[in-house]
Amino acid sequence: MALQNMPSARSVLSVIAPLAASAVLLRSISSDFVPDELNTYVSSKLYKIFKYFSSEFTIVIEEFRGLSRNQVFEAADIYLSTKVTSSTTRVKLGMTEKEKNVAITVDKNEEVFDSFEDLQVKWKLISTEVKSSSHGGPGSHLRDLNATLRSEVRSYELSFHKKHRAKVVTAYLAHVLETSKAIKEETKAIKIRTAEYDNWDSEGTNLDHPMTFKNLALDSKLKNEIIEDLERFKNGKEFYRRTGRAWKRGYLLYGPPGTGKSSLVAAMANYLNFDIYDLDLTEVTNNSDLRRLLLSLSSRSILVIEDIDCSIKLQNRNSKDDPEVTKEDKVTLSGLLNFIDGLWSCCGEERIIIFTTNHVEKLDPALLRPGRMDMHILMSYCTFSAFKQLAFNYLGILQHPCFTQIEDLLQRADLTPAEIAGELMKSTDPEVSIHGLLSFLEHKVAEQSTTKTEAEACSVQKPLNGLGQQIECQSIL
C-alpha cells in the first residue's frame, strides 16, 4: 500500500526540473541587475546564518609560519599517508635521499577521513596558485618571500564536530605529531657524519651497512644482553625524567682488533635507526671546538670515538704536569667529561656514546665509571656461538659433522671473528670451506701452544750471575 502511494521518478523529475530552471534564472537575473556590493552583502549574511546553525568546526593548518615550515603541517603530511584508502582518488608519490621508501602524500582538494576514539574528522588539502607581482606596499617583499620560492600556497583544513574542539586540539593533534614522528624515524635513511672543523658535514653519507643483530657474529648471550639494554634505553624516557638523569647511554667496546667492534656499532645504529657521528679527536683543535661539535649533535644519534686510547693524549685531570701532554694537545679529559657527564650532557636527549679501544688498561679510570661508560663490552675472540653465525652467513649451513671438532679447537685457540670469516670466504662449497677451516684451526692451535710454552719458559726466574744481575731470557717473540 505504501509503495503504491510513492511518487514515480518521472513525476519527481517533472517537479524538480522547473525549480532548478527557476533557480538558475534568478541567479542570472541577480548577477545582471543586482549590484555586486549587494550580492556580496547577501552572500555574507547567508554564510553567517549557515555558519551559526552548522555544527562543523574547521582548523586551518598552513604550510609555513613566517619563513619556517609549520611542523604540524609536515606531521599531517606524513600521518595522512597512512590513512589513504580505496576511496581516495588522487595521491602524490615521492622519495628523497634521506628516506628508505617511497612516500605517499595527499593531492590537493582530496578529502581523507580519520577516526580517533569517539572522534570523526575530515582532512582536506587546499592549494592556491601564487601570482607573482613585481610591486607591492611596504614590507611586501618579506610577505612574498615564500611565494617567490613556491608556485602554490598550501594548507590543510581539519574539520570535525565543534563539541570536540578541545579534544582535537589537545589529544588528537598530539596523536598525529607522535605518530608522524615514529613514521619519519622508521622510514629515514641512516646517515654517518664526520666533523669538518668545528661543525659536522651537513649532508652526511647514507649508512648502507647490512650488519644487524640478526647476522652479527657475536656470542649469543652477550648479544641478547646488549639488545635488552638498548630496549631499556629506548623505552626509558619516563625513567630518565623521573630520576633526573640525562637520557643518554655510554658503551665501552674493548678487545683485540678484528673482534667486530665496528660491526657492533653498525648493528646498534640499524637497530635503533639512529644516525652515527664519527668523531676523530685529533681533528679537534681545542675544548671550545669540541663543545660546539658535541652540542650540535642531533637527538636520537650515536656518537662514536674509535681507538680513544691512541687517537689523542687526554691529560689526566689529577696530573698538573704530564710530560707526555704537549702544547698541541689542547683537548683535555675534563673537556670531554664535561659533555659526557657534566651539565652539557643535558643539552639533547636519546643519545648513545660509544668509545672503542684495543687497550682498555691505557684509559683513565675517570672515563670508565658508570654514568659515563655504563656498559663495558668485551669483544673477545671467536666463540663457538659466533662461529655458527658466521657459518650460516657465509655458507648457509646450521649444522655439520665437523662442528664438534671446531668447537673444541676454538676453545684452545685465540682467533678473531675476522680471521674465521677470512677462512670461510675462501670457498663457497661448504665441505671445502669447513675442512679448510679445520686445517687452519689445527695449525693455529699448535702454533699458539708452542708460543705459550716458550713464553712460560722465559718467565721462569733464572739464577743470578756473579754480578748479582738476573740473566735475561732471549725470547724468540
For residues 155-179, give the mean pLDDT: 93
Which one of 99-113, 330-344, 419-433 scores highest in mean pLDDT?
A: 419-433
Q: What is the pLDDT of residue 433?
A: 96
Lowest mean pLDDT among 80-89, 172-181, 355-364: 80-89
d(CA 180, CA 102): 15
* Cell numbers found for residue 462: 733464572
What percentage of residues in the chain have a pLDDT greater than 70? 70
For residues 118-129, give the mean pLDDT: 90
Question: What domains are defined for the chain?
Answer: 42-129+146-187 (no CATH), 191-378 (3.40.50.300), 384-459 (no CATH)
Put residue 128 in one of left, alpha, beta given phi > 0 → left and psi -120 to 50 → alpha: beta
Q: What is the pLDDT of residue 132?
A: 59
- Residue 104 near residue 187, CB atoms below 8 Å: no
Alpha helices in 136-190 (DSSP H): 140-143, 145-149, 165-167, 173-187
* Cell numbers found for residue 212: 644487524
Q: What is the pLDDT of residue 261?
A: 94
- Residue 108 near residue 88, CB atoms below 8 Å: no
d(CA 237, CA 178): 14
8 or 299, greater pLDDT: 299
Residue 14 has pLDDT above 80, yes or no: no
For the stretch 29-60, pLDDT in tens is 555 665 666 666 666 655 566 556 678 899 99
Residue 69 has pLDDT above 70, yes or no: yes
* Distance (Å) of CA 271 to CA 36, 265, 274, 425: 64, 10, 8, 26
d(CA 100, CA 459): 58
- Residue 352 near residue 248, CB atoms below 8 Å: yes
285 or 150, greater pLDDT: 285
* Cell numbers found for residue 411: 676453545
Q: How confident is the model at residue 367 (pLDDT cuts 50, 70, 90)?
A: confident
332 or 420, greater pLDDT: 420
Q: What is the pLDDT of residue 436?
A: 95
For residues 308-317, give the mean pLDDT: 63
d(CA 52, CA 64): 30
Q: What is the pLDDT of residue 471?
A: 34
Q: Regarding beta strands 152-161 and 56-62, do their DSSP bridges make them parallel or antiparallel, or are they unpaired?
A: antiparallel
For residues 349-377, give the mean pLDDT: 89
Lowest mean pLDDT among 43-47, 288-292, 450-454: 43-47
For residues 235-261, give the mean pLDDT: 91
The secondary structure of residue 169, as a DSSP letter, is: I
Mean pLDDT, all residues of the chain: 79
Number of Cβ within a 10 Å radius of residue 349: 14
For residues 424-450, give the mean pLDDT: 93
* Cell numbers found for residue 246: 640525562
For residues 393-408, give the mean pLDDT: 95
Supply φ then ψ for residue 111, to 5 degrees.
-110, 135
Q: What is the pLDDT of residue 395?
A: 95
d(CA 81, CA 61): 17
For residues 196-217, give the mean pLDDT: 85
150 or 458, greater pLDDT: 458
Q: What is the pLDDT of residue 1?
A: 44
469 or 16, greater pLDDT: 16
Residue 321 has pLDDT above 60, yes or no: no
For residues 387-415, give the mean pLDDT: 95
* Distance (Å) of CA 37 to CA 28, 44, 47, 189, 293: 16, 11, 15, 56, 62
Residue 382 has pLDDT above 90, yes or no: yes
Lowest mean pLDDT among 19-23, 211-215, 305-309, 325-329: 325-329
What percentage of residues in the chain have a pLDDT greater than 90? 40
89 or 268, greater pLDDT: 268
Residue 387 has pLDDT above 70, yes or no: yes
Q: What is the pLDDT of residue 326?
A: 46
Residue 469 has pLDDT above 60, yes or no: no
Q: What is the pLDDT of residue 327?
A: 46
